[in-house]
Amino acid sequence: MKFIDTSVLRVGYQEWNPNAKASVVLLHGWPDSVRTWAQVAPALAAHGLRVIVPALRGFAPTEFLSAQTPRSGQLSALGRDLLELIEQLQLDQPALVGHDWGARAAANACALQADVASHLVLLSVGYGTNTPSQDISVAQARNYWYHWYMATPRGQRTVREQRNAFAQIMWDTWAPPGWYTAEEFEATAQAFANDDWAEVTLHSYQHRWGHASGDIRYDADEQLLQHTPQLKVPTLVLHGGADTVNGPETSAGKEHYFLSRYERKVLPGIGHFPQREDPSQIVAELTRFLEC
């Protein structure tokens, strides 16, 4: 694991092919870690790409530089973190590939800086689904039970005191059974074993629905992102047809947000974690799209 500092974070990241010309940044989601790309990153490196896999804020080994920095999980902050990482690593228009929170970070980075990426790939998340005023169906509201639970004192205690049990419920219910081992979950959960994870998690979901104020350093970014800017970057959306948290319908009908080449594929039988459930299919889709 390598480390580099941004304005507020010491970011832990993995890297392959550091001298390759073209680069790709792989961003994990919640509740997950850099391990989610364990079978994807080396395969992309074998295709000649420089591959960067950072841990998001709140996820070990990434740390805040100051105890005084608010443990914000607001989605604009995730996008800004990514832009600062790209700048610090001196990456020249990397491809950005994100899953779940990582997809939101990647899309927000492209919205905040139009020319930052060569390609954008979103896994399991539809663009334009960040704002508190978004329309959601009753079925989707049911899927988001954990969002509402974390808005209550009981839910907040659960996240702080029983984080692994809480996170494992998501793994058990967001995809068809049998896709992970107990050993893999325990290894991944090491990224949650710090106080920042609980606080960033709670703030992220509370802020997303307007129940918490944000860090003032991201106010300008929040203003820009609240209108869901159109994106100029070529974009691919991959969504599991058996995703039971973000139903595949939540990424449908988003073409109007994209001003360049746009593709969307629903993957039959795949749940919320495509890069873990069928990494070979994800590698094939990524290499095809990134070579175009």
> Of 43, 51, 40, whose CA–CA distance to 17 is shortest?
51
63, 196 Cβ separation under 8 angstroms: yes
pLDDT of residue 257: 97
**Position 164 pLDDT exceeds 70:** yes
Mean pLDDT of 14-24: 96
282, 40 Cβ separation under 8 angstroms: yes
| pLDDT tens by residue, 22-47 | 999 999 999 999 999 999 999 999 99
| pLDDT tens by residue, 100-112 | 999 999 999 999 9
Tell me the pLDDT band of 129, cut-offs 50, 70 and 90: confident
Name, in order, each residue with C-beta under 8 angstroms of 83's C-beta and a sequence gap of 6 or more.
109, 112, 113, 116
| pLDDT tens by residue, 59-99 | 999 999 999 999 999 999 999 999 999 999 999 999 999 99
Please classify residue 142 by burial: count the beta carbons closer than 10 Å to its beta carbon, then call 0-12 exposed, 13-18 middle and 19+ buried: exposed
Mean pLDDT of 180-206: 97
Name, in order, each residue with C-beta under 8 angstroms of 45's C-beta and a sequence gap of 6 or more.
16, 17, 20, 51
Tell me the pLDDT band of 292, cut-offs 50, 70 and 90: low
| pLDDT tens by residue, 216-258 | 999 999 999 999 999 999 999 999 999 999 999 999 999 999 9
Q: Residue 249: what residue type?
A: E
| pLDDT tens by residue, 249-282 | 999 999 999 999 999 999 999 999 999 999 999 9
Name, in order, each residue with C-beta under 8 angstroms of 226's C-beta and a sequence gap of 6 or more.
131
Name, in order, each residue with C-beta under 8 angstroms of 6's C-beta and a sequence gap of 6 or more.
81, 84, 85, 88
**CA–CA gap between residue 81 and residue 160 (Å, rounded):** 24
**Position 186 pLDDT exceeds 80:** yes
Mean pLDDT of 195-215: 95
- Residue-range domain boundaries for the chain: 2-290
Percent of the chain predicted with pLDDT > 90: 95
What architecture is the 2-290 domain classified under in CATH? 3-Layer(aba) Sandwich (3.40)
